[in-house]
């Protein structure tokens, strides 16, 4: 994805208030992020450890979402495979994160969940730029390009459920 500015990120959020989007902490060292290798930008909120954020492009527009995840004791070991990049992780490498739906449905308290790499580095796992703690990712018959396409499709499908 293209390198984003602070303004790009703050105006992309679709499932939180404008005030929240203005205050949330941005990823560190943004100039140094491997933008060319990212299908989406994902980061944890270091001041609120149950929160994380994802910004990606969808149909030519930036879409940012805020996510929450339960304490590790509850989320622990429910599933070890990320549903976005299909990387298997030991321990708490995968978390069930929930995102508030867009619009009124979200304000009414409705949310949807997704099992995703806790560090949100799916893009890097798919490209072999980062390895899970187990030291290897399972062999896939798909090419890296195909896996990248699948990763984007999976995330897009999740984003669609926020407005469904």
CB of 89 to Zn ion, least distance (A): 8
Distance (Å, rounded) from C-alpha 118 to C-alpha 123?
13
Using CB under 5 A as the binding rule, the residues of this chain from 100 to 119 that contact Zn ion are 117
Q: Is the dihedral of CA 147, 151, 124, 79 positive or negative?
A: negative
Cα 117–chain centre separation: 8
Where do we find the tokens 């491997």?
A: 34
**Residue window 53-92: x/- pattern of binding to Zn ion, with contact defined by CB under 5 A:** -----------------------------x-xx-------
Binding region for Zn ion (CB under 5 A) out of 20-28, 106-114, 121-129, 154-162: 121-129
Which single residue brings its beta carbon nearest to Zn ion? Answer: 82
The span from the CA of 148 to the CA of 164, in Å, is: 25
E strand spans, 34-127: 40-44, 51-58, 61-68, 94-100, 111-117
How many residues belong to the site for Zn ion (CB under 5 A)? Answer: 5
Contacts with Zn ion, 13-52, as mask; x by CB under 5 A:
----------------------------------------
Whole-angstrom distance, CA of residue 53 vs CA of residue 13: 9
In whole angstroms, the minimum distance from the beta carbon of 90 to Zn ion comes to: 14
Does residue 159 interact with Zn ion by CB under 5 A?
no
Give contact residues for Zn ion (rule: CB under 5 A).
82, 84-85, 117, 122
């Amino acid at each position: 994805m293209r390198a984003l500015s602070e303004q790009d990120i703050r105006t992309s959020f679709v499932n939180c208030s404008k005030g929240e989007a203005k205050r949330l902490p941005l990823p560190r060292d943004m100039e140094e992020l491997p933008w060319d290798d990212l299908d989406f930008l994902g980061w944890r909120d270091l001041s609120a450890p149950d929160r994380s954020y994802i910004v990606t492009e969808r149909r030519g527009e930036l879409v940012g979402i805020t996510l929450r995840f339960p304490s590790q004791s509850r989320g622990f070991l429910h599933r070890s495979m990320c549903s976005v990049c299909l990387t298997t992780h030991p321990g708490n490498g995968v978390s069930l994160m929930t995102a508030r739906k867009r619009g009124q449905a979200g304000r009414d308290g409705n949310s949807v969940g997704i099992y995703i790499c806790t560090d949100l580095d799916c893009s890097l796992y798919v490209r072999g730029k980062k390895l899970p703690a187990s030291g290897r990712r399972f062999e896939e018959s798909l090419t890296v390009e195909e896996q990248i396409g699948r990763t984007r499709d999976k995330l897009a499908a999740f984003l669609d459920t926020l407005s469904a």
